[in-house]
Structure 1
Amino acid sequence: MKAFLFTIVLLISTSSYCFGSNSYFKTDSSKTKTISFKIKLKSVEKVKIQAADLKFNKHIAYSFTVDDGYRSAYLTAFPLFNGGKISPPMMNEWKNDQGGDGTISKGLFYSDGLGNKIPFKLGLAINGGAIGDLPANRGHLSWSEVKELYSAGWDILNHGLHHATKHGTNFLTEVTENTTSIKQNLGFTMSHFVVPGGESDPGYHLEYERDALANGSFSVASYVGAGPVIKVDKKVNLDKMIYARTFIQSSKDTIGFKTMDRFLTTFDSVAKLAGPIWYNEFTHGVGNSNLWNLSMRFPDFKYYMTAIANKYGANGNDSIWMAPWQEVYEYIWLRDRIKINFEQNNKEGIVKIELPEIPKNFRYKDISLVVETSSRFEIESNSPDFKISSDGKTKHKLITIHLK
């Protein structure tokens, strides 16, 4: 029997992007290129292909952000997620314990739907003015620590250069100089902003929102806005998005995990909602002390994240995509702008996917495709411009395209 063969074609534009107004403009249409790959099926049948609502066709995208760039994110959360030695107690310069329990973690993971485990990841809202190597017991991250977290897939969000909120703050300077600081020290441009909290004049957050959105930020986390639950089964309005932060923090009661259990009950109710969901939560420190009484003590953080991983991660029903806000934003942005055209003629079919101009400061350019077929299939591709992974030989339901 002749193998059923069809081709998926992706049209990628490499035109420039204008940051100031968050608008797009073409500079050279000749830079558009086409990449393609072939699929061979083991049987002849009608095949349907569409973009997955969420990466890896997950049910819930979960974005968790830690504010202010405290060192506990590196000392405790990072090894808890990736696996390794969690820091023992560590008293910082403010006499707060930013360490953990000193145990060895096996890691917390979800899968890519193809049997490969991916560590949980967080977003970091940081102030460039607070990052440094001194003192030795510093409370904030160092540049090398931020770089390591970024290289591991954590995202870095703009939180203002000095976390300034008081009367007289130059909000525009806080936004733009923090962008410059991170670019000079780490080599990339941040594209999302988190409004810093603290003593302030009424309405100060509105000025941060305005200046951030006018100067390169695609979205802003603030006090009032979208979420924390965002339905993504249809096109999502991401244009100049402002979303509301929902904080999780430990209570004064240190006996047991009753407070975390209440938060987990909320999480479970969100996870049970019909259709694909994007859910976001925030906290500050994740060390042993409840830093500024606005944080999660490490035992609470460990309990909370481990419970989520065991129920919804790779060791549970594997329905979660635990990814930072920027990663999920960029997936949905691209998903909502591609055009998929599929034509099938008997034993042959062709799928064309047209991609829009992708902003230069986008970090992620992946798209997952849901394949409706009972046939096993194989993919053929030798292009250096992208990689493809699929479950064609097992469940034959998923293809993920990784654009380079």
Structure 2
Amino acid sequence: MKIPHSRIKHFLFLFVLLINSVSLFAANEFKTKIDSSKAKTVSFKIKLKSDNKVKIKSAPLKFNKHFAYSFTLDDGYRSAYLTAFPLLNGGKISNPDKNEWKIDQGGDGTTSKGLFYSDGFGNKIPFKLALAVNGGAVRDLPANRGHLSWSEIKEMYNAGWDILNHGFHHATKHGTNYLTEVTENTASIKQNLGFTMSHFVVPGGEGDPDYHHEYEKEALANGAFSVASYTGVGPVFKVDSKVDLDKMISARTFVQSSKDSTSFKTMDRYLKTVDSIVKQSDPVWFNEFTHGTGNGNLWNLSMRFPDFKYYMTTLADKYGVKGSDTIWMAPWQEVYEYIWLRDRIKVDYKQKNKEVEVTIELPEIPETFKHRDISLVIDTSSKFEIESSKDLKIKDDGKTTHKQILIQLK
């Protein structure tokens, strides 16, 4: 495993990336398998209570949040299910539990009510992460196994967590067949879980110089829309205008516990980095990673559960429903797919007195997309109601804050 930079370098690196980041304009379309359905349009009507002029545009981020924060757990360790999932989604957190490697991958045994942000329509949504998994390591036995089972991954996937390709065997050493690692893992997840992964995370470890470039090449040539690697763009993206997502290779940074820390000072430094990013005036998307989240600092590349709990709870208290409610805590794939779709739709509207007819031209959407929602920002002082066809699911806050509309595509 590649050891990340020191905490100070981590903070400076991310801060400089943010200050110097520029919005990239999409120039090329993805060369990927597309849904058989052609590009189409959807439309609906807005009934206003007054005839004041309105303005409508797509929101930079879903639910018109100020920042998206994506967090990924590498390697598919079982601590994700024992501790991280119940903490965020709500449920019983595992008691201390030593795995087959004699490392405690359990938690504190408490029951969590979940960590949430709101959708702006009166609903709470639990924090969700992504799992970068190796299909070759997934199994049901032994009882104290260190990796996840298929049923555990499926449960988290069904709860909205995204599953990312991390290679079938996590192979990195000399002689690795990078093509096989990518494609066998895709086939394994498809066979056992019934969906096709579309984003890749380069495994860390000892290997030939620049081996990660081989993974990047094979992943992008075989169905991956993006790759998280050692170097690349980001991990902070300004999203107030079009973003170049075509064959994206993103830099990967880690949050991890200190080897001998007994306080939360290390986590506070990471949280300070997040805070510096959030304070920027423009909406942003920020990505980070770790490995295990159990009581033991797995391979010294993980977050001990007390640190993980403190870190995520602080984010929820500060930016979730209990705080500013400005966070969209969503996995890499979900945010990526929202921005991809946002940058390719065309929103048109015509107002006549108290009625506004909205038409949205949609692109052909890749069949591997899991998330297909569009958030619109509506600038009006008037309350409103939506009149739409039966095949279009729409949420709005027209009777309360009358600021946004959510279109959920099938």
Q: Fold match, TM over 0.5?
A: yes
* 2:306 counterpart of 1:329: no
Question: Match for residue 8 of structure 1?
Answer: none
1:128-277 alignment, distance < 5 Å: 128-277=135-284
Letter in 1 for 2:400: T
Structure-1 residue corresponding to 2:393: 387
Cα distance change of structure 1 residues 140 and 28 upon mapping to structure 2, 3 Å threshold? closer
- 1:366–1:401 Cα contact (<8 Å) kept: yes
The equivalent position to 1:398 in structure 2, one of 393, 404, 408, is 404
Assess if the C-alpha contact under 8 Å between 2:35 and 2:366 holds in 1.
no
2:19 aligned residue:
none
Q: Distance in 2 between matches of 1:32 and 1:195?
A: 33
Deviations 1:67-116 (A, max 9, x none): 00000000001110111110000100000011000011111000101120
Deviation of the 1:36 alpha carbon: 2.8
Letter aligned with residue 208 of structure 1: Y
The code of the aligned residue for 1:299 comes to: P
After superposing the two structures, state which structure 1 stretch, 346-355 or 45-54, moved more: 346-355
Q: Aligned equivalents of 1:25 and 1:253: distance in 2?
A: 49
Alpha-carbon shift at residue 37 of structure 1 (Å): 2.3
The match for 1:23 is 31
Q: CA deviation at 1:125?
A: 0.2
Distance between the aligned counterparts of 1:372 and 1:41, measured in 2?
A: 12
Match of 1:125 among 120, 127, 132: 132
- SS of residue paired to 2:363: strand
Unpaired stretches in structure 2, ≥5 consecutive residues? 1-28
Q: Deviations over 1:135-158 (max 9, x none)?
A: 110000000000000000000000
Unaligned runs of 5+ in 1: 1-20
Deviations 1:170-223 (CA, angstroms, capped at 9, x unpaired): 000000000000000000000000000011110100000000000000000000
- How far residue 32 of structure 1 moved from its aligned partner, in angstroms, is 5.0
Q: Is the 8 A contact 1:165 1:197 kept in 2?
A: yes
Name which of structure 1's ranges 336-345 and 314-323 shifts more when overlaid on structure 2.
336-345
The residue number in structure 2 matching 1:353 is: 360
How has the CA–CA distance of structure 1 residues 366 and 169 changed in structure 2, closer, same or farther, with 3 Å as cutoff?
Answer: same
DSSP-derived class of the 2:152 partner = helix
Does the C-alpha gap of structure 1 residues 400 and 262 become closer, same or farther in structure 2, counting only changes over 3 Å?
same
Contact 1:55–1:331 under 8 Å retained in 2: yes
Match for 1:190: what amino acid? M
Alignment-derived partner of residue 92 in structure 1: 99
Preserved contact between residue 22 and residue 214 of structure 1 (Cα < 8 Å): no
Structure 1 counterpart of 2:59? 52
Does 339-348 or 143-152 show the bigger shift? 339-348
Task: Note the aligned Cα RMSD (angstroms).
Answer: 1.5
1:61 aligned to 2:63?
A: no
CA distance in structure 2 between the aligned counterparts of 1:26 and 1:257, rounded to whole angstroms: 47
**1:389 aligned partner, one-letter code:** K
- CA-to-aligned-CA distance 1:256-275 (integer Å, 9 cap, x gap): 11100111111110110111
1:349 is displaced (CA, Å) by 3.1
Where does structure 1 differ by over 4 angstroms across 4 or more consecutive aligned residues? 24-29, 31-34
Query: Secondary structure of the equivalent of 2:362?
Result: strand
> Which residue identity does 2:47 align to in structure 1?
K
**Aligned partners of 1:376, 1:349: CA distance in 2, in Å?**
13
TM-score by length of 2: 0.91
The TM-score with structure 1 as length reference comes to 0.92
Give the match for residue 315 of structure 1: 322
Give 3-state SS (helix, strand or coil) of 1:132's partner: coil
| CA distance, structure 2, for counterparts of residue 219 and residue 84 of structure 1 | 32
Query: 1: distance between equivalents of 2:30 and 2:117?
Result: 33
**Greater shift after overlay, 248-257 or 31-40?**
31-40
Question: How much has 1:340 moved relative to structure 2?
Answer: 1.1
More strand by share: 1
Instruction: Please show how residues 281-320 of structure 1 align to structure 2 within 5 Å.
Output: 281-320=288-327
**Structure 1 residues 78-89: aligned runs within 5 Å:** 78-89=85-96
% same residue = 75
Displacement after TM superposition at 1:25 (Å): 7.8
| Partner of residue 112, structure 2 | 105
Three-state SS of the structure 2 residue aligned to 1:357 is coil
The structure 2 residue matched to 1:367, chosen from 369, 374, 390, is 374
Structure 2 distance, partners of 1:255, 1:51, is 45
- The answer as to whether partners of 1:61 and 1:323 remain within 8 angstroms in 2 is yes
Rate the CA distance shift 1:26–1:189 in 2: closer, same or farther, 3 A: closer
CA distance 1:109–1:26, change in 2 (3 Å):
closer
